[in-house]
A = this chain, B = another copy of it.
Amino acid sequence: MTDETIQPPRPLEGLRVIDLTRALAGPYATLLLAGLGAEVIKVEDPRGGDLARENSPYVGRDGVVVERQHDDDVSISHLTRARGKYGVSLNLKSPEAAGIFADLVRDADIVVENFSAGVADRLGVGYAAARAVNPRIVYCSLSGFGADAPEGGKAMDVIIQALSGAMYTSGEPGHPPVRFGVPIADMLAPVFSVIGILAAIEQRHRTGVGQHVDVSMLGALTSFVAIENWSAMAAAGMESRTGLTVQRLSPFGVFACADGYVALVAVHEKLAQGLFRAMGQPELGQNPRFSGRDVRVANANDLEARINAWSQTLPTAEVVRLLEAEGVPVAPVRHPEDALVDPRVMARGETMSVAHPTYSSTVDLRTSGVPIKFSGARIGFDEALAIRVGEHNQDVYGRLMGYAPEEIAALTARGAI
């Protein structure tokens, strides 16, 4: 027996990522790669680092606070997004930057950046520069409208949500658009970036060379919106924006309880009969207005009113219990705080806790995991987390790249790193 714990490998072990990303979209891509086992080296400007370091709230010796109180308070966004990443500093505008970038890329497999379109090339850290030193490099650009877009503007999540059509898919017909509370545009593009990167790595096994992978936030979100048949539904005279319920599948959607809401689905005959029994009104199953899918759809307003009249009188838990007993798919509408601590989700690592490296917090700072389980591999983040900008300069520039200590000191003194 030994003290060593034999852990399964992670799927992407052996791949090295040079991470030039900032804010949310890019860092979420490299976070997924880190959790899958790639070695991620996050490059930050020595003059302040990733802007997400300034995101409120913070955690530190006084617990969770809205405004930074102490030097060692850390933004919870940073604690979340920098997990498992080695942090080096590099001023991309310094005269030494091109050479240091080339050294970083020479032995890497992947570069990820999310500057505005064209900026990486102008800084000398674009795909052309990376390929020149390493033709095997897979270089991923993540931008608002694509690497080929003329726009130089910043693409924020809410701007992309507005352009994508997503805001007019939720809410009641005729009501204002709805902003998704999850930054869906910032999150989807990186997920597609990871698919693109891994597909290019697979192609590299055949060809021996890398390539440029280019993902647009607008394109990623619009492609999601496009899965519904919007133009066909409009052409067929079907209502596409339908609020809390979908009447063409009635009963389907969200209904009010005395203390909250439930989602339920009873489209098919057997389920509808089960719903009517749970409501204590089994006779509705013989009522010509509700017996059969087509008439339920035709009388959806009446049916929904009857369901709400019943469910509004009962606690959510009771409505769930009664419907589950009849085999009708049902769930309480939960708040994020409750959803994140679902034991199933915690056990599978789909949500995970983060913590300040020094100070404990009474609040469980629960955040995203990597929602994939492998039978022959594990998901997990290295201990690495650059609290300080350039925290792993010695390790990366010294141990990994062979820079001499005096060279690192000189680069630091000149502000290059």
Task: Tell yes or no: A311 within 8 A of B by CB.
Answer: no
Q: Which residues in window 157-188 of A have CB below 8 A to B?
A: 158-171, 176-184, 187-188
CB-CB nearest in chain B for A144: B329
Task: Tell yes or no: A224 within 8 A of B by CB.
Answer: yes
CB neighbours (8 Å) of A13 from chain B are 206
Q: Which residues in window 183-218 of A have CB below 8 A to B?
A: 183-184, 187-189, 191-196, 198-203, 205-207, 209-216, 218
Choose among B57, B166, B176, B218 the residue that contacts A182 (Cβ–Cβ < 8 A): B166
CB neighbours (8 Å) of A176 from chain B are 244, 254, 256, 261
A164→B183 CA distance, assembly (Å):
15
Task: Tell yes or no: A129 within 8 A of B by CB.
Answer: no
CB distance from A115 to the nearest CB of B (A): 16
Choose among B127, B234, B327 the residue that contacts A337 (Cβ–Cβ < 8 A): B234
Do the beta carbons of A198 and B200 come within 8 Å of each other?
A: no
Do the beta carbons of A372 and B199 come within 8 Å of each other?
A: yes
Q: Which stretch of A39-47, A61-69, A273-281, A282-290 is in the interface?
A: A61-69
Do the beta carbons of B377 and A203 come within 8 Å of each other?
A: yes
CB-CB nearest in chain B for A75: B229
Task: Tell yes or no: A338 within 8 A of B by CB.
Answer: yes
CB distance from A99 to the nearest CB of B (A): 25
CB-CB nearest in chain B for A181: B169
Choose among B196, B200, B228, B348 the residue that contacts A336 (Cβ–Cβ < 8 A): B228
Task: Tell yes or no: A241 within 8 A of B by CB.
Answer: yes
A161→B184 CA distance, assembly (Å):
14
Do the beta carbons of B222 and A340 come within 8 Å of each other?
A: yes
Task: Tell yes or no: A364 within 8 A of B by CB.
Answer: yes
CB-CB nearest in chain B for A151: B344
Task: Tell yes or no: A369 within 8 A of B by CB.
Answer: yes
A234→B64 CA distance, assembly (Å):
10
A141→B346 CA distance, assembly (Å):
19
Choose among B59, B198, B261, B345 the residue that contacts A232 (Cβ–Cβ < 8 A): B59
Interface string of A119-138 (1 = CB under 8 A from B): 00000000100000000000
Do the beta carbons of A57 and B371 come within 8 Å of each other?
A: no
Instruction: Knowing A158-B265, A162-B332 are in contact, say whether A371-B216 is a contact too (CB < 8 A).
Output: yes
Copies in the assembly, this chain: 2
In the complex, which range does the number of interface residues on chain A fall in? 35 or more
Do the beta carbons of B371 and A223 come within 8 Å of each other?
A: yes
Choose among B193, B345, B363 the residue that contacts A222 (Cβ–Cβ < 8 A): B345
CB distance from A86 to the nearest CB of B (A): 20
CB-CB nearest in chain B for A36: B199
Task: Tell yes or no: A298 within 8 A of B by CB.
Answer: no
Interface string of A383-407 (1 = CB under 8 A from B): 0000000000000000000000000
Do the beta carbons of B336 and A169 come within 8 Å of each other?
A: yes
Instruction: Knowing A218-B344, A339-B165 are in contact, say whether A57-B232 is a contact too (CB < 8 A).
Output: yes
A241→B180 CA distance, assembly (Å):
10
CB neighbours (8 Å) of A222 from chain B are 339-340, 342, 345, 350-351, 371
| Extra 20 A-B pairs, beta carbons < 8 Å, given A158-B265, A179-B254 | A24-B227, A64-B236, A159-B329, A160-B331, A164-B334, A166-B336, A169-B182, A179-B263, A187-B227, A191-B195, A211-B376, A212-B374, A214-B372, A214-B373, A215-B373, A216-B348, A216-B350, A227-B367, A231-B363, A232-B365
Taking Cβ atoms with an 8 Å cutoff, the residues of A that contact B are 9, 11-15, 24, 28, 32, 36, 56-57, 59, 63-66, 76-77, 80, 127, 145-149, 153-156, 158-171, 176-184, 187-189, 191-196, 198-203, 205-207, 209-216, 218-220, 222-238, 240-245, 248, 252-254, 256, 261-263, 265, 327, 329-340, 342, 344-345, 348, 350-351, 363-377
Q: List 5 A-B contacts (CB under 8 A).
A: A64-B232, A163-B339, A165-B340, A184-B184, A219-B350
